[in-house]
Amino acid sequence: MIITDTHTHLYSEAFDDDRSAMVKRAIDANISRFFIPAIDSSYTASMLQLEADFPEHIFLMMGLHPTHVKANYKKELQHVEDMLAERRFYAVGEIGIDLYWDKTTLDIQIEAFRYQINLAKTYKLPIVIHCRDAFDEIFEVLEQEKSDGLFGIFHCFTGNLEQAHKAISYNMKLGIGGVVTFKNGQIDQFINQIDLEHIVLETDAPYLAPKPYRGKRNESLYIYKVLEKLSELYGISEESIAKVTTKNSKDIFGV
């Protein structure tokens, strides 16, 4: 059984004391594929080091996270563009719109999102979307940019059934993580109405740890709790969930 964590910040400072041991724990448990989203240029060196340390298991993305779209965003977007031109990445992400922390940057968040979508189209890469309190705004951009060349993952999907179907209509898989185990997460109430071919697994480590670790540091090993919950909700084996979701990740990332 091969399990794929399609979204994990393994370079985070939260892992500075035990990063190698934490990654090895996951690999030993058959979680052998880790897709690493970018945040901004300050993390690029750490991401490249992570890849050097675990070259058979780490797959990097490149992008500017919406909460890091600040006054210097054009310089940051240039860094994204330069890196994409320099070497292989497996997605443009994580990108999108976040109106939870700061609504005043909406205009430049939209600009950065659109710019990076077009970089993804240029390089024929998937996008990995971060959406918080911004479904309408995200869908508006996707509607304007939709094409056969636009595809990817709606990371940490927390919407309702209607929004799930809408995301899928834009060639997006749904990234399902620890939230599916939360009592108030709500996606557990409808996710089994979504065909598994539209689902990928993720942790978003070190954030959003599943029950019973909620509130603690998340790590990729805890993806088993997501797997267990989806097995329960779909009424099929964990092995079947792992097989289908890993295939889905390969379809998206091309590896």
Instruction: Give percent of the chain with pLDDT exceeding 70.
Output: 100
- CA-nearest of 17, 20, 1 to 220 is 20
Q: SS3 of 95, please? A: strand
CATH code at position 56: 3.20.20.140
pLDDT at 140: 98
d(CA 9, CA 162): 29
CB burial class (10 A; 0-12, 13-18, 19+) of residue 139? middle
Q: Are 177 and 6 in contact (CB under 8 A)?
A: no
Residues 155-196: tens digit of each pLDDT: 999 999 999 999 999 999 999 999 999 988 899 999 999 999
- CA-nearest of 64, 61, 16 to 39 is 64
Q: Could you tell me the end-to-end alpha-carbon distance of the chain, in angstroms, rounded to an integer?
A: 17
The amino acid sitting at 227 is L
The amino acid sitting at 80 is V
Q: Are β-strands 152-154 and 127-132 bridged in parallel, bridged antiparallel, or unpaired? A: parallel
Instruction: Give percent of the chain with pLDDT exceeding 90.
Output: 99
d(CA 39, CA 75): 14
Q: Are 96 and 134 in contact (CB under 8 A)?
A: yes
Q: What is the number of structural domains in the chain? A: 1
Mean pLDDT of the chain: 97
Q: How far is CA 95 from CA 24, 26, 194, 231, in A?
A: 28, 26, 24, 29
DSSP E strand stretches across 22-170: 31-36, 58-60, 92-98, 127-132, 152-154
Instruction: Please check the confidence at residue 43 and state whether its pLDDT lies above 90.
Output: yes
pLDDT at 88: 98
Q: What does the pLDDT average to over 237-247?
A: 98
Q: What does the pLDDT average to over 47-54?
A: 98
Spatial CB neighbours of 114, under 8 Å, sequence gap ≥ 6: 141, 144, 145
Instruction: Please check the confidence at residue 22 and state whether its pLDDT lies above 90.
Output: yes
- CA-nearest of 227, 168, 228, 223 to 193 is 168
Residues 203-232: tens digit of each pLDDT: 999 999 999 999 999 999 999 999 999 999
Residue 93 structural domain: 3-253
Plot region of 167 (φ>0 → left; ψ -120 to 50 → alpha; else → beta) = alpha
Instruction: Please check the confidence at residue 5 and state whether its pLDDT lies above 90.
Output: yes
pLDDT at 185: 85
Can you tell me which residue has the tokens 């309408």?
A: 136
The amino acid sitting at 175 is G
Q: Is the pTM of this model over 0.75?
A: yes
Banded pLDDT at 86 (limits 50, 70, 90): very high
Banded pLDDT at 8 (limits 50, 70, 90): very high
d(CA 104, CA 112): 14
Q: What does the pLDDT average to over 67-74?
A: 97
d(CA 122, CA 38): 19
